[in-house]
């Protein structure tokens, strides 16, 4: 114990850096565990959809009509930004938002979490990852 106290006294900058790093790790883990949204792979999305999750395509109508995941609801990003009224009844169900690449849908999933959706997810890689995994896409 005496050596430990001596080390603390002789290396205050190292001790301070270790304390700061430990604090950052704790904060990061806390935020990751309490986030109201997550990013999931296409395989995980299929599992959730089979369990009753709702797929939400946030792309423009033209892109949705050109090809989308079967059973997906078209809710443009602007409608989600305005309060996601078309999705109100799904607040307690898993909701998976997707776009072409996963970037815009990530912001939509975060916003859904702030709106009270308890299980909002982003399809990691978007429709491109879905197609890359050879999963089906339908056209209207």
Active site amino acids: 99
Close Cβ partners of 43 (under 8 Å, ≥ 6 residues apart)? 133
Residue with tokens 């609801």: 73
What is the rounded distance in angstroms from the CA atom of residue 40 to the CA atom of residue 122? 6
The rounded distance, in Å, linking the Cα atoms of 139 and 31 is 38
Handedness of CA 81, 86, 92, 94 (dihedral sign): negative
CA atoms of 80 and 56, how far apart (whole Å): 10
């Amino acid at each position: 114990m005496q050596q430990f106290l001596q080390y603390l006294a002789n290396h205050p900058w190292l001790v301070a850096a270790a304390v700061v790093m430990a604090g950052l790790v704790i904060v990061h883990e806390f935020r990751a565990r309490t986030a109201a949204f997550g990013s999931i792979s296409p395989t995980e999305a299929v599992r959730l959809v089979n369990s009753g999750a709702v797929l939400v395509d946030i792309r423009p109508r033209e892109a949705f009509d050109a090809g989308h995941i079967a059973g997906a609801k078209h809710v443009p990003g602007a409608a989600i930004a305005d309060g996601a009224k078309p999705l109100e009844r799904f607040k307690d169900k898993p909701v998976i938002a997707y776009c072409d690449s996963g970037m815009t849908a990530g912001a939509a999933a975060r916003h859904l979490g702030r709106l009270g959706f308890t299980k909002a997810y982003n399809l990691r890689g978007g429709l491109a990852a879905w197609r890359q995994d050879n999963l089906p896409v339908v056209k209207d």
